[in-house]
Amino acid sequence: MRRRIKGLILLDMILALILLWSAAVRQNGAYSGVQADVANVGATGTVFQISEETVTEDVKKICLTFDDGPHPYYTEQLLDGLKKRGVKATFFVTGEHALLHPDIIKRMSEEGHMIGNHTYSHLQLGSSNLEEFKEELVRTNEVLEEITDQEVIYVRPPYGSWDKRLEQELNMIPVLWNVDPLDWCRTDVSGIVQNVVVDISENDIILMHDQYKSSVTAALEIVDELLEKGYEFVTVEEILFE
């Protein structure tokens, strides 16, 4: 009887250790599937075999952002390519372009892309135009909210010029970038692509523009290459707050 009790206690300990190990492995993302199989049962006890089904790595998230649009042709072309690849991006649009092409703004929203504020006329904040800059942000928010029926929270200040006081006054979050291939001033697609994919890292925010054919072509090539490398494209919100 005592041997039987000791055997049951030992079996319980083994099961507990296996469950703890399996939970730790799943939490760390080392394996996508782990299962414990009863190999055989005999007088000496139960033997367990741990089998590894597949080994996977954690998903590496990055964000692709586009400024200055929407463009009546190139943005549509870009949206077609992103939809085909199942990729979501973030678009920082100007109010004046949004007014000219509301259908494209609606499409961005309906297809799950994030839309942010890039001022009304691409105004750069300076030392003497804070109020004008603020008015452009407010005006652009009104335009975008009228089109999409969604609140606009994120802002990409032109040229990165920003005043932190606006964050509380307007309840908006500025979004800058850390990967800039300078696609707005060059047309060599391969060069733009290489400037992004060579040194890309997890949680990077890529700055591009949807106003140029070369930029759109390069962006889709970048997406293809980075998808092959195991990256997942997400919106700004997921990079900043997850």
pLDDT tens for the chain, residues 1 to 242 = 444 444 444 445 544 554 444 444 444 443 333 333 333 334 444 443 434 444 445 789 999 999 999 999 999 999 999 999 999 999 999 999 999 999 999 999 999 999 999 999 999 999 999 999 999 999 999 999 999 999 999 999 999 999 999 999 999 999 999 999 999 999 999 999 999 999 899 999 999 999 999 999 999 999 999 999 999 999 999 999 87
Per-residue model confidence (pLDDT) at position 12: 53
* Phi, psi (degrees; rounded to nearest 5) at 204: -70, 150
Q: Which letter does DSSP use for residue 125 in this model?
A: P
Angle, alpha carbons 69-143-63 (nearest 5°): 45
Contact by Cβ (8 Å): 113, 95: no
pTM assigned to the model = 0.77
Contact by Cβ (8 Å): 167, 195: no
Per-residue model confidence (pLDDT) at position 24: 47
Angle, alpha carbons 183-124-99 (nearest 5°): 80
Single out the catalytic residue among 67, 183, 204, 210: 67
Answer yes or no: 67 catalytic: yes
Single out the catalytic residue among 113, 204, 209, 210: 209
Answer yes or no: 149 catalytic: no
Choose among 66, 35, 12: nearest CA to 209. 66
